[in-house]
Structure 1
Amino acid sequence: MSDRKVMRVRDGLSSSGEGAGFKTAMNLTACQIQREKNIFREWEGGPFAHLTKVSIPHLAIGNGFKFAASGQSFDELMSAKVYCDALTGISGKQNEQDPIVADFVSSGWLEFTGKKGTSRVEPGQLCIRDTSAPWEFSCGPEARLHVVTIPRQSLLAHLRSGQALNTSFVADAGTPEVRFLLNFLEAIERSSEALDRSTPAQGMASDACAAVLARMLSGLPNDMTAFPNVTVEAAKSFIAKNIDTVDLAPPMIAQALGVSVRTLHRSFAETEDSVMALVRRRRLQEAHDDLLKTGSAVGVSEIAARWHFSDASHFIRQFKSSYGDSPAAYLRRFQQGELT
């Protein structure tokens, strides 16, 4: 038997809006590939159900086959990180219910051929296509992808004309829209448990994703002022990943998200923190954790410098304001078991 692992982290998507996380993995030897008739039967009805006639290229069989995917699906939006060895097949079943699919390639390559021609997607590129029309596809070995599927009707609601879906769309990671989309998807991943508990939040996330993809296809500049909460979540995700960067500030964050600095500040206007207040609070938390982890082995000045406080005195004031004690006094209480 093949080494297959399919695990539902949370129960599947339902009409009530309940979310679902999933993980799936395959690890097949050359003998297993040759022996089994329907290797990909588990994909039928799952998050990759738009793929049909899937097969492993003959020249790649000798290397075996590995596949792994993990992600979230809710409100008919699916976002998954995928590892895949060489694969071919058809994407789309000539069905109006088939989704719009966006593939971001971080390593390896993808190639799609449809009625309007062939698109090759290299590392650092995103491809969007409508699978209501079938596409022949090839996936290169050891490909790493971020795959998003969204209902066709959700995207059409944001498009002036469905003609934008007639061809595949390829864009580089450096464009503002792609940067925003990738940070937004990271925010979805970080917020998956909270999204599971909120049907309105799931709808907002799905609608925002559809809006971003539609603007890419329409060639319109990105404008996320209608989705301030989504911008905030994407910003939080970027801040968390870059909290140790000395230049972390609104211009850098806005550029990474693909929005203007003004849009970024307006998005934070109704939250408890400004952009830089959030950065300072996250850095103070990192410094707090650093203090408890290193104890007295590292001085307060070194911790302050590591987390980009202007000087030790400023760090001590900020720490005392948030935790009620100076770093030294707080550490003593922690080591004496007075804090939990």
Structure 2
Amino acid sequence: MNLTARQTLDAERHFKEWDRGPFSHLKKLSIPDSALHREFRFDASGHLMFDLLSARVYCDSMTGVSGSDLDQDPIVADLVVSGWIEFVNGKERNLIKPGQICIRNTRASWEFACAPATVAQVITIPRHLVMPLVASRRVFDRAFVADASDPEVKFFLNFLSVIEESAGELRNSVSAQNMARDACASLMSSIVSQRPGGGLADNSSATVAAAKKVIIDNLASCDLSPQMVARAVGVSLRTLHRAFSLTGDSVMSFTRRMRLQEAHEELGRADRSVSISEISARWHFADASHFIRHFKAAYGETPAAYLRRQKK
């Protein structure tokens, strides 16, 4: 949404368009007097899977109410990237700054205001998926505010990025979409229930999915290790190894397969002058002999033989 300075005077008419859709829990939207007569911009990009939303939002100065005492209003999480968002419910007031996340039940009404040019990641999950999983319904008597660096929050955000990257495949499977929604609901319930590590060990498939993304993103790094992966997804090293073992795999085996795949593709593009030792070092094998042995086990021929066959 882009409003001209003149259109901001009649902003409420434009906001009426939000009565249906992923932001329908937002009501009484308006632009503060101090921001009138200026251009207004609201942009949202992300993924909507049934009624699970994960979107990156840019919003100029705005006020309104989140939640309207309706059963269909969701559980909402706002991770502020820049700017700030303030949520008020009665005497409770939460100012969410960059690097913080606020999770709240919009079954209650929260007045909110955001700074100009605020950027946030907004996640909404159907309430009926989350509430049966929380330790106590009283955990939502107040908003839950935490740092994005907290292990549980970090894990949750990493898992969301996995879902977003898999959106194309998920569209082809309703059952996979339901699994993703259920996993997100379980992780969010664990966060607000404040069970240390709660839910992470119980979601081994989510742990593995998030870990695989970290591994693939860091294949070329010499710092890639199980310890680094565990820190990145926000679980203990023991939890990481246990999650992989349940799939019949290991962190290092998966890493080696992915690096072999990259080396195989590089050889397919290379000319005959390529050095097997250089490729071995680039993909962090101990030495060329280790690389050759693993390559032959995976592809049935040595790197040199594969290179000759490709260049005939």
Structure 2 length as normaliser, TM-score? 0.88
Residue-by-residue CA offset, 1:54-113 (whole Å, 9 max, x unaligned): 223343355523332233333532222223233221111122321110111222222111
2:253 — aligned with what? Answer: 277
- Code of the residue aligned with 2:291 in structure 1: it is F
1 CA distance for matches of 2:4 and 2:306?
A: 56
- Code of the residue aligned with 1:113 in structure 2: it is V
C-alpha RMSD of the superposition? 2.5
- Code of the residue aligned with 2:127 in structure 1: it is R
CA distance 1:61–1:308, change in 2 (3 Å): farther
2:216 — aligned with what? Answer: 240
CA distance 1:136–1:309, change in 2 (3 Å): same
1:314 — aligned with what? Answer: 290
CA distance 1:179–1:56, change in 2 (3 Å): same
Percent of residue pairs bearing the same amino acid type: 51
1:187 — aligned with what? Answer: 162
- Code of the residue aligned with 1:133 in structure 2: it is A
Kindly report which structure 2 residues correspond to 1:145-184, keeping only aligned pairs within 5 A, or say none. Answer: 145-184=120-159
2 CA distance for matches of 1:139 and 1:295?
A: 56
Conserved? CA contact 1:187–1:236, under 8 Å: no
Candidates 229, 236, 241, aligned match of 1:253 = 229
The structural deviation recorded for 1:176 is: 1.0
Kindly report which structure 2 residues correspond to 1:35-54, keeping only aligned pairs within 5 A, or say none. Answer: 38-54=13-29
2:58 — aligned with what? Answer: 83
- Code of the residue aligned with 1:285 in structure 2: it is Q
1:101 — aligned with what? Answer: 76
**SS of alignment partner, residue 40 of structure 1:** helix
Conserved? CA contact 2:8–2:37, under 8 Å: no
Conserved? CA contact 1:212–1:222, under 8 Å: no
1:119 — aligned with what? Answer: 94
Bigger shift: residues 161-170 or 188-197: 188-197
Conserved? CA contact 1:239–1:248, under 8 Å: yes
CA distance 1:184–1:276, change in 2 (3 Å): same
1:327 — aligned with what? Answer: 303
**SS of alignment partner, residue 39 of structure 1:** helix
CA distance 1:282–1:65, change in 2 (3 Å): farther
- Code of the residue aligned with 2:211 in structure 1: it is A
2 CA distance for matches of 1:97 and 1:324?
A: 56
Bigger shift: residues 175-184 or 39-48: 39-48
- Code of the residue aligned with 2:168 in structure 1: it is E
The total of aligned residue pairs comes to 311
1:286 — aligned with what? Answer: 262
| 1:69 equivalent in alignment to 2:57 | no
1:129 — aligned with what? Answer: 104
Conserved? CA contact 1:100–1:129, under 8 Å: yes
Q: Which runs of 5+ in 1 are unaligned?
A: 1-25
